[in-house]
């Protein structure tokens, strides 16, 4: 069947998809299970940190303007142990890093600046400043301060900070439940012999890996049956159990493209084709709150469709910020021949010593060549135009991975 619907730009498609996303409910998880989860509500500090004035050096707690020529050492204060000694003029208390400053003292002189003679110390410098080598109460974090905004993906720093303030569990968005299926009679799994005309089902493993990395709960729904009624039935089952259903293959214009037919009977079709390469055939359908993405069968087209559109939906669903990563400006390192659609070329972006970002593509950009995505840290956005892009021209790129100081 020939489609007449206009091809949407990637930005138009993102706007439509995001307009149909609903936020997932939140749940409370312990800090040991919080890594990679998206914080559902802002975290505020329930207490001051440090909770007591603490020494930042190993040394002696003293009174800064004490004029005594030497101080008697009247006790020891270690981290975790509090003594009830009070520092008075002419005295000092031995103290370790992190230990609470004893009453009466207002500074810590490091051991390096002190001479210990029997049971007293002589400070080997002119002046001790008030508050020297002491972190006052709340110096790092004030009670009530915003410490982690909602929408943050929790990592080691956020989790460690929460623990330091006595927070034992955090509210996070529920993981998206996502079902994945592949379609195509030609597909066999790796590990099985290839018959004539058969190819391996790479999309299954690629999409499951992408979803695991995105923090989703993934269900492999199997290979779609080659009968439209049974395929519709399988999709209906998965829709009931899932926030998102993703298929690959069968969305182009052939008679065997059953997914299009099944999706049309199941829900509202919002997108069928994109003004984009790879990924021209791309279906976005909703059934109630569930989002369905019919990705193309070509492996690179499926990967790009996933990373640009499905990831945006998953981020919006969990409240992650930013929903759409801001592209960076890059300088082309070689000529590029534009296509007839907005092209997302797999590329390597690197940074020179002045901080300028450069880009080169990863070689042949066929939608079947997954090797073009291996090692690519960016999608280089190449708009169509009559003449080739020249080296030194500027384009925009979406980063998928960190940028290094040289092309790798
Ligand atoms: N007459 C036209 N033909 C095609 C058009 C078009 O506009 N007019 N669009 C082309 C574009 S662009 C793409 S992209 C593909 C996508 O087509 P489908 O989504 O229908 O995908 P299939 O035909 O099922 O498969 C395409 C290709 O990918 C291989 N494949 C499928 N599933 C998997 C999998 N799970 N793992 C690995 N490889 C897979 C399949 O064997 C085919 O080689 O359509 C163009 N055609
Ligand atoms: O758009 Mo297709 O995804 O070129 O190969």
Mean pLDDT per 10-residue interval, the chain, length 408 residues: 73 98 98 98 97 96 95 94 92 96 97 96 95 97 98 98 98 98 94 95 98 97 92 97 96 78 94 96 97 97 98 98 95 97 98 95 97 98 97 98 81
Distance in Å, CA 252 to ligand 2 centroid = 10
Write down the pLDDT at residue 252: 82
ipTM for this model: 0.98
pTM exceeds 0.90: yes
Pocket probe for ligand 1: among 298, 342, 367, the residue whose CB has the most ligand atoms within 8 Å is: 298
* CB of 372 sitting under 6 A from ligand 2: no
* CB of 365 sitting under 6 A from ligand 2: no
What tokens does 252 get?
A: 């182009």
Pocket probe for ligand 2: among 10, 251, 275, 277, the residue whose CB has the most ligand atoms within 8 Å is: 277
Write down the pLDDT at residue 372: 98
**CATH architecture entry for 54-135:** Beta Complex (2.170)
Domain with CATH 2.170.190.11 in the chain: 54-135
Enclosing H/E stretch for 285: strand 281-287
* CB of 345 sitting under 6 A from ligand 2: no
Distance in Å, CA 372 to ligand 2 centroid = 14
| Euclidean distance between CA atoms 151 and 39, whole angstroms | 5
Largest separation between any pair of C-alpha atoms in the chain: 98
Distance in Å, CA 238 to ligand 2 centroid = 26
Write down the pLDDT at residue 226: 83
Write down the pLDDT at residue 407: 58
Domain with CATH 3.40.980.10 in the chain: 10-25+174-318
**CATH architecture entry for 328-399:** Beta Barrel (2.40)
* CB of 296 sitting under 6 A from ligand 2: yes
Domain with CATH 3.90.105.10 in the chain: 28-47+141-173
* CB of 299 sitting under 6 A from ligand 1: yes
Q: What is the dihedral of CA 234, 238, 240, 245, to 10 degrees?
A: -130
**CATH architecture entry for 10-25+174-318:** 3-Layer(aba) Sandwich (3.40)
Domain with CATH 2.40.340.10 in the chain: 328-399
Radius of gyration (C-alpha) of the chain in whole angstroms: 30
| DSSP tag of 336 | B
Write down the pLDDT at residue 64: 97
- Count CA atoms closer than 13 A to 193's CA, side-chain side: 2
What tokens does 117 get?
A: 């003679």
Give burial (CB, 10 Å; 0-12/13-18/19+) of 244: buried
Write down the pLDDT at residue 256: 66
| Euclidean distance between CA atoms 280 and 283, whole angstroms | 9
Write down the pLDDT at residue 368: 97
Write down the pLDDT at residue 80: 87
Class of domain 28-47+141-173: alpha beta
């Amino acid at each position: 069947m020939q489609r007449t619907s206009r091809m949407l730009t990637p930005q138009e498609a993102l706007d439509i998809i995001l307009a149909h996303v609903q936020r997932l409910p939140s749940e409370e998880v312990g800090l040991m299970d919080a890594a990679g989860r998206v914080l559902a509500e802002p975290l505020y500090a329930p207490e001051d940190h440090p909770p007591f004035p603490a020494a930042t050096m190993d040394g002696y707690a003293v009174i800064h303007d004490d004029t005594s020529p030497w101080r008697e050492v009247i006790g020891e204060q270690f981290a975790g142990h509090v003594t009830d000694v009070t520092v008075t003029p002419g005295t000092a208390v031995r103290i370790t890093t992190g230990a609470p400053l004893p009453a009466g003292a207002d500074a810590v002189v490091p051991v390096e600046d002190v001479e210990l003679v029997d049971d007293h110390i002589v400070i080997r410098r002119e002046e001790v400043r008030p508050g020297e080598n002491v972190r006052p109460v709340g110096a790092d974090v004030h009670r009530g301060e915003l410490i982690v905004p909602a929408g943050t993906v929790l990592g080691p720093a956020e989790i460690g900070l929460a623990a330091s303030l006595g927070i034992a569990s955090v509210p996070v968005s529920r993981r998206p439940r996502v079902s994945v299926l592949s379609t195509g009679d030609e597909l066999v799994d790796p590990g099985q012999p290839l018959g004539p005309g058969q190819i391996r089902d790479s999309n299954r493993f690629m999409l499951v890996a992408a979803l695991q990395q995105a923090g989703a709960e993934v269900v492999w729904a199997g290979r779609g049956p080659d009968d439209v009624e049974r395929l519709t039935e399988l999709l209906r089952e998965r829709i009931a159990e899932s926030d998102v259903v993703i298929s690959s293959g069968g969305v182009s214009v052939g008679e065997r493209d059953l997914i299009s037919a099944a999706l049309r009977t199941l829900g509202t079709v919002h997108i069928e084709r994109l003004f984009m390469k790879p990924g021209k055939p791309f279906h976005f359908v909703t059934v109630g709150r569930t989002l369905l993405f019919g990705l193309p069968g070509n492996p690179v087209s499926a990967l790009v469709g996933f990373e640009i559109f499905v990831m945006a939906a998953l981020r919006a669903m969990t409240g992650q910020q930013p929903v759409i990563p801001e592209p960076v400006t890059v300088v082309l390192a070689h000529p590029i021949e534009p296509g007839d659609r907005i092209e997302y070329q797999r590329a390597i972006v690197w940074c020179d010593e002045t901080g300028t970002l450069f880009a080169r593509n990863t070689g042949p950009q066929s939608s079947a060549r997954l090797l073009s995505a291996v090692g690519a840290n960016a999608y280089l956005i190449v708009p169509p135009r009559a003449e080739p892009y020249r080296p030194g021209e500027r384009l925009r790129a979406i980063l998928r991975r960190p940028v290094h100081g040289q092309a790798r």
